[in-house]
Amino acid sequence: MISSAFAQAAPAGGDGGMMNILFIVLMFVIIYFLMIRPQMKRAKEHRTMLDALQKGDEVITAGGVLGRVSKMGEAYVTVEIAPNTEVSVQKAAVQTVLPKGTLKSIQS
């Protein structure tokens, strides 16, 4: 009823292992240039922007709040979002520095 099963012979060819390793290395190179390198570049630009941040700059926070930097700290900045209304946010939450006069043109 049940017949015996025999293992198949291994295919001949020694290049298969080298091609697999080459394929894996090629995938890592592609991932580095398409994903890792651009992310590192964006992080460096953001860090440079935060280092250049100063009092009076008009900014947009990660939450979408627009305002003018009124006080600077080591880890936090105080952003004036309306006359006599200030909020403290983490420095890393500042997403964009706007050109001078942008807030005035938006409020009009």
Q: Give tens-digit pLDDT for 32-68.
A: 999 999 999 999 999 999 999 999 999 999 999 999 9
- Identify the three-state secondary structure at position 25: helix
Place of tokens 């198949």: 8
d(CA 27, CA 24): 5
Residue 85 lies in a domain: yes
User: Could you list the residue range(s) of the whole structural domain that residue 35 is in?
Assistant: 16-52
Q: What local confidence, expressed as pLDDT, does residue 84 receive?
A: 92
> Same domain for 91 and 80?
yes
Number of folded domains that form the chain: 2
Residue 11 lies in a domain: no
Residue 6 lies in a domain: no
- Identify the three-state secondary structure at position 26: helix
> Same domain for 60 and 26?
no
Q: What local confidence, expressed as pLDDT, does residue 71 receive?
A: 95
